Amino acid sequence: MTVDLSGKVALVTGARTGLGAAIAEALAAAGATVVASGRRQGDCTTVVERIEAAGGRARDFAIDVADLSGLPVRIEALAGQAGRLDIIINNAGVIEPMAPVGAIDPVAFDNALRTNVSGPAAIVGVAWPHLAGGGRIVNILSGAAISPLVGWAAYCASKAALLMFTRVADLEGAPRNIRCIGFAPGLVDTDMQARIRAAHINQISDVPQASLGAPQLPARAVAWLASGAGDSYAGQMVDVRNEEFKARAGL
């Protein structure tokens, strides 16, 4: 299914590698001007170069989603420089700490919540007025948002919280044509999955790398959702492995 995002400006956090990079490239291929964000300036230079080499439009822009005090300045600066903001893909996130409940480092747990929930929520909150003409927000979630897993208390709790934030944001945004969707990309071959395998913490650690999916398919799904074609899934979490969803999104 063809996705047309011509004239749209899209922010993708955590776009340096893996799924975030693939999402940035998919959005650009659909015609969007992509702001590819990592924690530091220059993190996404390679992604931007690939997009431009393919004829797309992109720029590197540093956003540390865990820096809550700095986020308002960065998002306002981005909106001012880009002139508009139509799409937000909250992809940046951390899997650590991976530990049994009795061994959790509380500082690391707090950092996971800040990175996986508070940061994305702050980005949406600051960007909200710039989406007033209609915008699409896709929060990258996980089956861990609804299924508890040993050793993943921080990740499960943070993704569950982000799912509820997604529901509330869509409830408030729908009357203004701001729709928010949660998306679970399945098990994708990324650096995060490598750390999960190395941790030997639960059954996800036992999934062999050969069984993991490439990031390009879920990236195409995100582009489809960002276009508004999947608004019937707004306020929910949709999984890339859902056969009905795959058929509708042309995957």
Instruction: Yes or no: say if 34 and 24 are a contact pair by the CB < 8 Å rule.
Output: yes
Query: Residue 83 corresponds to which amino acid?
Result: G
Q: Is-catalytic flag, 233?
A: no
Separation of CA 98 from chain center: 20
How big is the CA angle at 155 (ends 248 and 10), to the nearest 5 degrees? Answer: 45
Separation of CA 215 from chain center: 12
Instruction: Yes or no: say if 23 and 1 are a contact pair by the CB < 8 Å rule.
Output: no
Measured distance CA(153)–CA(156) in Å, rounded: 5
Measured distance CA(165)–CA(71) in Å, rounded: 18
**Distant-in-sequence, close-in-space partners of 150: CB < 8 Å, separation ≥ 6:** 100, 201, 202
* Catalytic entry in 109, 128, 155, 183: 155
Measured distance CA(59)–CA(51) in Å, rounded: 9
* Angstrom distances, CA of residue 183 to CA of 70, 79, 164, 189: 26, 24, 13, 17
Query: Residue 123 corresponds to which amino acid?
Result: I
The token pair that represents 89 in the structure block: 């893909």
Instruction: Yes or no: say if 87 and 15 are a contact pair by the CB < 8 Å rule.
Output: no
Active site residue ranges: 155
